[in-house]
Amino acid sequence: MCTLEQRGRVFVLTLTGDGEHRLGHPLIASLRSAVASVAAAAASAGPGTALVTVAEGRFFSNGLDIGWAGTSRPRLQELVDALRPLAADLLALPMPTVAAVTGHASAGGFLLALCHDYRVMRADRGVLYMSEIDIGLPLPPYFVAMFRAKITAANALRDVLLRGRKLRAAEAKEMGIVDAVCPGPAETAAEAIKLAEQLAARKWDGGVYASIRMSIFPEACKSVGIVEESDEEKRKHFASRL
Amino acid sequence: MATQNLCTVKRRGRVHLITLTGAGEHRLNPALLSAIRSAVAASAGAGALVLAAEGKYFSNGFDQAWARTAPRHLQATMGGEFRGLVADLLALPMPTVAAVTGHAAAAGCGLVLAHDAVIMRGSRGFLYMSEVDAGLKLVDFFAEVFREKVPDAINRRDLLLRGGRMAAPEAVLRGIVDKAVDGGVEDVVNAAVAEAEKLAARGWDGEVVAEIRKAAWPNLWSKVKDYGADAPAAAARPRL
């Protein structure tokens, strides 16, 4: 389902195999476990680490496993509920994060990519696509909160959520959704790792990095269930740093 | 509190020009913050305000060196005074212009963004949110300055989460700063004063300016309003 390796200061999380990497219970659980290992390893590795999430095959992720859910609303809700803490884990991760969008990222898969600080995407194939409007599914509140937090240009948000626009890498970059565009999947992964290495080399305190990240979009953090640190706790942190 | 050596106040036409004096870093310690707040309060009757600085720095942020030696119960006054200054600027009954004559880092950058308009020196000086490098978290009202004034997600991330130094051309391109001005410190100040004079010439009702501004940035206003000079609790709060 997924593998985790450490290359120097960069953790590389790979969604394995040629399939759609549908976010069903097994994959979500594997990803949560991997992300938890990254957070734990970061604690012992000290400042200066980063995460890259990459996928094999034609898909980054095609979203929640709606095949498994079928016509069952409760099952679909289960998957929505299961993905939420993974989003929270990524938003709270004490290191910079880069999504190497090496294939299609739709619905929950697009959300997964957005949960990272940076996105590098292949130009030759693959689209970012919020399919919900086309398939007639309303958006879970935390999905909307994440998109509102990360896609702040009104017409871009409209195009993505309300038009079901399928974005190739170049247009996504123009819209401020993707940071870098690379020719193919190998270059995309390499560029993502290179960016992650540059970020890791800054040796930022992971807890501080995550705190600043969360203070950039507190509503999205709240919507995925993160309880932001109070000012009082932050001030205690200042005092300890003097 | 002696303010003479910390900042000067001049009227140029309808513009109330406050200049942080000296070649130093203009670190925002309680003394300087208090001096700036007094200078802001002295703007009554003017048509617009400009905040500028002498030397290489606009402001290099909070005075950590002072904080290290200050008694624990006074450390918070620095943050409190800064919060009060932001409130005073938001409530000011006239347009405000920051003349970024030099480097503006951390709280110095926050102070710049608390103004209505930002004119920056084109060829020297940068905006630098150093907190990620220094290992400092952002308290809520301070992060709110950036959430309100830097609405673009990429700009906010790049300013706050990369520890990068952003010079004027990039800041203008990203819409974080209104204008870059070539030349030296004096040229930047003159441009800022000219911009402020144009705003003053509109003859806007100052109270209306203040009300519209507070309504435009309601989240920030709600988080700082109790610290402003006009806030009911202000009289009771200890000031150095």
DSSP-assigned letters across all residues of B55-100: SSEEE--B-HHHHHHS-HHHHHHHHHHHHHHHHHHHT-SS-EEEEE
Tell me the nearest-neighbour CA distance from B61 into chain A, angstroms.
14
Tell me the nearest-neighbour CA distance from B203 into chain A, angstroms.
33
Tell me the nearest-neighbour CA distance from A23 into chain B, angstroms.
26
A157 reaches B (C-beta below 8 A): no
* End-to-end Cα separation, chain B, in angstroms: 7
Tell me the nearest-neighbour CA distance from A24 into chain B, angstroms.
29
The pLDDT confidence band at residue B211, using thresholds 50, 70 and 90, is: very high
According to DSSP, the β-strands at B7-12 and B15-20 are: antiparallel
Quickly name the fold that domain A2-202 has: 2-enoyl-CoA Hydratase; Chain A, domain 1 (3.90.226)
CB-CB: which of B64, B146, B151 is closest to A242? B64
Residue A212 contacts residue B131 (beta carbons within 8 Å) = yes
Cα(B26)–Cα(B21) distance, rounded to whole angstroms? Answer: 8
A190: helix, coil or strand? helix
- Give pTM, 2 decimals: 0.95
Q: Say yes or no for a CB contact (<8 Å) between A215 and B137.
A: yes
Q: Is residue B231 part of a domain?
A: no
User: If you ran DSSP here, which 8-state letter would residue B52 be given?
Assistant: E
CB-CB: which of A205, A216, A235 is closest to B156? A216
**What number is the average pLDDT over the span B101-125?**
98
A198 reaches B (C-beta below 8 A): no
A211: tokens are: 């705190």
A213 reaches B (C-beta below 8 A): yes
A139 reaches B (C-beta below 8 A): no
Q: Is residue B112 part of a domain?
A: yes
Interface probe with A: pick from B129, B137, B158, most Cβ of A within 10 Å: B137
CB-CB: which of B68, B132, B154 is closest to A208? B132
Q: Is residue B127 part of a domain?
A: yes
Residues in chain A closer than 8 A to B159 (CB atoms): none
Q: Mean of the per-residue pLDDT values for chain A?
A: 96
* E strand or H helix at A13: strand A10-15
The pLDDT confidence band at residue B73, using thresholds 50, 70 and 90, is: confident
Tell me the nearest-neighbour CA distance from A109 into chain B, angstroms.
20
A229 reaches B (C-beta below 8 A): yes
Q: Say yes or no for a CB contact (<8 Å) between B157 and A209.
A: no
Whether B234 shows a pLDDT value over 80: the answer reads no
Domain ranges of chain A: 2-202
Sign of the Cα torsion A136, B153, B144, B9 reads: negative
According to DSSP, the β-strands at A2-7 and A10-15 are: antiparallel
**What number is the average pLDDT over the span A157-164?**
98
Burial A35-54 (b: 16+ CB within 10 A, else e): beebbeebeebebbbbbbbb
Give the chain A residue whose CA is nearest to the CA of B75: A239
Q: Say yes or no for a CB contact (<8 Å) between B132 and A231.
A: no
A216 reaches B (C-beta below 8 A): yes
Give percent of chain A above pLDDT 90.
95
Whether B240 shows a pLDDT value over 70: the answer reads no
Per-residue model confidence as pLDDT tens digits over A8-67? 999 999 999 999 999 999 999 999 999 999 999 998 888 999 999 999 999 999 999 999
A154 reaches B (C-beta below 8 A): no
Interface probe with B: pick from A91, A215, A233, most Cβ of B within 10 Å: A215
Give pLDDT, residue B194: 98
* ipTM (interface predicted TM): 0.96
**What number is the average pLDDT over the span A80-87?**
98
Tell me the nearest-neighbour CA distance from A78 into chain B, angstroms.
30
Structural domain of residue B205, as residue ranges?
7-223
Among B4-8, B134-138, B182-186, the least confident range: B4-8
Give pLDDT, residue A222: 98
Domain count, chain B: 1
Give the chain A residue whose CA is nearest to the CA of B152: A152
Give all strands (DSSP E) within B93-235, no chain letters: 96-100, 103-105, 117-121, 126-128, 165-167, 179-181
A25: tokens are: 């219970």
- Establish, for the pair of chains A and B, how many residue pairs have beta carbons separated by less than 8 Å: 81
Cα(B4)–Cα(A229) distance, rounded to whole angstroms? Answer: 40
Q: Is residue B234 part of a domain?
A: no
**What's the CATH code of the domain at B173?**
3.90.226.10
Among A17-26, A96-105, B72-81, the least confident range: B72-81
Q: Alpha helix locations (H) across A92-204?
A: 108-114, 132-135, 141-150, 154-157, 169-174, 185-200
Give the chain A residue whose CA is nearest to the CA of B154: A176
Whether B1 shows a pLDDT value over 50: the answer reads no
* End-to-end Cα separation, chain A, in angstroms: 45
The pLDDT confidence band at residue B4, using thresholds 50, 70 and 90, is: low
